[in-house]
Amino acid sequence: MGLDVRPAPTRRRAKAGASAPPPDRGARARLSRLDIKISPYLLISPFYLVFAVFGAFPLLFTLWMSLRDRELASGKDEFIGLRNYTELLGDSAFLNAVVNTLGMFVIATVPQLLLALLLANALNRRLRGSTLFRVGMMMPLITSTVAVAVVFTQLFDTDFGLVNWLLGLVGVDPIAWQSDRWWSWVAISVMVDWRWTGYNALIYLAAMQAIPKDLYEAAAIDGASRRRQFWQITVPMLRPTILFTAIVSTIGGLQLFTEPVLFDNGDTDGGSTGQFQTVAMYMFDSAFSNDDYGYGAAVAWMIFLLIIVFSLVNFMFIRRMGGVR
Amino acid sequence: MGSPRRSRRGRGLAALAAVLTGVMVAGTACGGDDDGGAGGKITLTVDTFGEFGYEELFKQYEAQHPNIKIRSRKVSDLDTYKPQLQRWIGTGSGAGDVVAIEEGLLPTYMQQANKFVNLFDHGGAALKENFLDWKWQMGLTPDGKQLMALGTDIGPLGMCYRKDLFAKAGLPTERDEVTKLWPTWDDFLKRGQEFQGKVSGTKWLDGPQALLRVTVLQEAGKGPGYSYFDKSNNFVVDSNPAVRTAFDTVLKFQQAKLTANMQIFTPPWQTGLKRDAFATVPCPAWMLGGIEEYSGDYGKGKWDVAGIPGGAGYWGGSWLAVPKQTKHPKEAAELAKFLTSPQGQLGAFKSANTFPSSPKLYSDPAVAQASNPYFNNAPVGKIFGDAASQVKPVHLGPKNEDVRQELENVLVAVGEGKTQPGQAWTEGVDKARGVSD
């Protein structure tokens, strides 16, 4: 990377400037030109160095690994080209995991963002103790995911859980939270929403406060109701923010892992028929449980592709939404 | 370059990066090795799963060796332990100085024996007669040149049952009479139906997992001497009648809704113990320690041990090995030798009922006449000792555990009503084959 040449000029320049009058104007000018050209890069280099070590390297290493058949326990390690990927595309367990992930993504994210929007709108009004409410919304976020998942897993226990007990009080039959595909998705989505709704609401709130008040005043003078103001002013003005939260939720949702794993008592197979195995869990299951690291790496790259595709979909969807402007 | 906005952002990033670097440096500083510890003590980490019953032995060893401090890392469930160990051994860092290897995992690591210290270099040869011959042989590499692991316990089988619930169902409660209730698994199934007809809210068995393990090992022991993989490690799930027979046995219990569909040592199972979710658990000797630990005071005096249906068998048992990555191979080997010595095995037996693999102990009154107060003073020494003498070792392949998990999952799905019983076998074989290479 030629890193070693960079610090040298700056240091020499500093020394030269401090000690004696310039011995050689030409050299000094060259150095100062070099300084202008290189120093900014030098200043931003720590980020890129950190990224290279913790971002780019693992990324490329995973890519390299995904082209190999690698087992840790037996020590097997050979190059097999794209075979992991071709196998993956015909792998019903992988497709099942993709469907699960997307399903949970939709039923977690859509209500989450809507709810966050409404919450933010409510908090945007004058309220007694509004700081308290705002801080309160962040509380789930700073709780450890593991703690949240452990508690919710107990709440959603089929035989001895609080939720089924409460449902029993109103005469509803116990729900098989773990074994039923749909209900397991719902339970996991509830955990996700509990944790992230407040976070998104706070982001929306910040954006709402940046909307000029005179827009609302003008609308009020024209006789627009509160609801109309919300849908025709607030939401369109929030579009970039909504886009941001949608993308962030996409990235998070497609990597969903901790909640469903703990929901399955720490196993990565996502229930007996893989009914709530996410792609991230399948990656873990392939690599760490079945000791097929190459295959796991290929799954990791598929997650990456999925995230890009769905972020783009979201981007286009939200750009078309609320056609004002 | 140039626009003020961008350069400001650059500075921000640089600052962020500087902070991150600082955090990382601090992180490494904290993550430093504490092996050097206070007063020049050597810390040895021991990795185990489930119940090994080592706590007292650790204290004893520390008292005898003032320069050694033992750190115990215990994982409750083998399926959680397995990938961790694989990662530690595979990447060459993170493993304890002494690690427990369950019998299902041993063949996998045997392929990579070079990652473990050869215990022959630490006086291992002298220990041979401390162990049952097959237990000793399994710890050796195929060429016999490396002693990779030393045996701890073996798991001769009994059947744990809830005395109080049996009384409620009008079944006999004395262990000898209970044993006579179920010479075969079919009898056991019938008793289960009677039981569930009388006691509502309690299932007969804990789940299909334990049952499948037990029946597979019983059938394989009676028959070919191997289960999912033959002795050349070829996948034989579909052609080995021992596996099919065992699978069909478990399937019958699942179809009759006679199990609570739980998996041993998981949180629901632990809760189930205290909520009377099931009345029997197939019990290799070491399971007694688990039941005692997780039922606590609630289960004291409620459990007892009888004979297992379907003939003698065993389930599990482990070995201790010293990974090469340890910084203290000598001290770690000494600790492993101590824990697997007859004295160490006796200590473990007393605290967690892990049945010794050292035949020297079988005639020792401390084992032969041992009874377990938690289990209504069941004569565990005699029950498991008798079973141990009939144990026939079963060969396991390197991917044994992956196959087992797939088959278990299919049976759980039948219990949940998600998989049709008629399709269970085909589906199980398919999935098992998928993970077998």
Q: How far is B236 from chain A (nearest CA, A)?
A: 18
Distances (CA, A) of B388 to B242, B262, B370, B393: 21, 27, 15, 11
pLDDT digits (tens, 9 = 90+) for B376-431: 999 999 999 888 888 888 988 888 888 999 999 999 999 999 999 999 999 999 99
What is the per-residue pLDDT for B5?
38
Residues of chain A with pLDDT under 70: 1-24, 321-325
- Identify the CA nearest to A122 among candidates A13, A19, A12, A227: A227
Cβ neighbours of residue A36 closer than 8 Å, sequence gap 6 or more:
none
pTM of the predicted model, to two decimals? 0.80
Per the CB < 8 A criterion, the answer to whether A278 and A257 are in contact is yes
Instruction: Work out whether the CA dihedral B286, B287, B290, B292 comes out positive or negative.
Output: negative
What is the per-residue pLDDT for B415?
93
Cα(A36)–Cα(B191) distance, integer angstroms: 88
Mean pLDDT score of chain B, rounded to an integer?
A: 88
Cβ neighbours of residue B318 closer than 8 Å, sequence gap 6 or more:
B52, B100, B101, B102, B103, B151, B152, B153
What is the per-residue pLDDT for B267?
85
Confidence at B30, pLDDT banded by 50, 70, 90: very low
Q: Is the pLDDT of residue B12 over 50?
A: no
Cα(B205)–Cα(B258) distance, integer angstroms: 6
B316: which DSSP letter?
Answer: E
Confidence at B16, pLDDT banded by 50, 70, 90: very low
Distances (CA, A) of B201 to B173, B195, B252, B264, B337: 20, 11, 20, 19, 47
Phi, psi torsion values for A70, nearest 5 degrees: -125, 125
- Identify the CA nearest to B109 among candidates B93, B135, B88, B134: B88
Cα(B356)–Cα(B384) distance, integer angstroms: 10
Q: How far out from the chain centre does Cα B13 lie?
A: 50
Phi, psi torsion values for B151, nearest 5 degrees: -70, 145
Confidence at B25, pLDDT banded by 50, 70, 90: very low
Complex ipTM > 0.90: no
What is the per-residue pLDDT for A24?
65
Are B18 and A72 a contacting pair at CB < 8 A?
no
From the list A40, A43, A73, the residue facing B86 with the nearest CB is A73
Confidence at B37, pLDDT banded by 50, 70, 90: very low
Cα(A296)–Cα(B397) distance, integer angstroms: 22
Cα(B375)–Cα(B164) distance, integer angstroms: 12
Which tokens go with A141?
Answer: 């976020």
Which tokens go with B257?
Answer: 């809704």
pLDDT digits (tens, 9 = 90+) for A264-284: 888 888 988 999 999 999 999
- Identify the CA nearest to A203 among candidates A148, A109, A123, A140: A123
Q: Crossing angle for the helix pair A181-209 and A239-254, nearest 10 degrees?
A: 150
What is the per-residue pLDDT for A324?
43
What is the per-residue pLDDT for A10?
45
Q: How far is A207 from chain B (nearest CA, A)?
A: 21
Q: Is A76 left (phi over 0), alpha (psi -120 to 50) or beta?
A: beta
Q: Name the β-bridge partners of B43.
A: B69
What is the per-residue pLDDT for B407?
96
Cα(A58)–Cα(A46) distance, integer angstroms: 18
What is the per-residue pLDDT for A6?
45
User: If you count residue pairs, one on A and one on B, with CB atoms under 8 Å apart, how many are there?
Assistant: 105
Phi, psi torsion values for B139, nearest 5 degrees: -85, -5
Amino acid at B6: R
Residues of chain B with Cβ-Cβ distance to A175 below 8 Å are: none
Which tokens go with B300?
Answer: 């004291």
Q: How far out from the chain centre does Cα A124 lie?
A: 26
- Identify the CA nearest to A106 among candidates A250, A273, A235: A250
Q: Which of A34, A47, A156 is best to mutate for the B interface (most B CBs within 10 A)?
A: A47
Rounded mean pLDDT, B24-32 = 39
Cα(B118)–Cα(B332) distance, integer angstroms: 12
Q: Is the pLDDT of residue B147 over 70?
A: yes
Q: Is A172 left (phi over 0), alpha (psi -120 to 50) or beta?
A: beta
pLDDT digits (tens, 9 = 90+) for B85-140: 988 998 889 999 999 999 988 988 888 899 999 999 999 999 999 999 889 999 99
Per the CB < 8 A criterion, the answer to whether B236 and B229 are in contact is yes
Which tokens go with A95?
Answer: 């497709």
Are B418 and A46 a contacting pair at CB < 8 A?
no
Confidence at B297, pLDDT banded by 50, 70, 90: very high
Residue with tokens 């720590």: A46
> In chain A, which among 264-303 make CB contacts under 8 A with chain B?
265-267, 269, 272-273, 275, 284, 288-291
Per the CB < 8 A criterion, the answer to whether A141 and A198 are in contact is yes
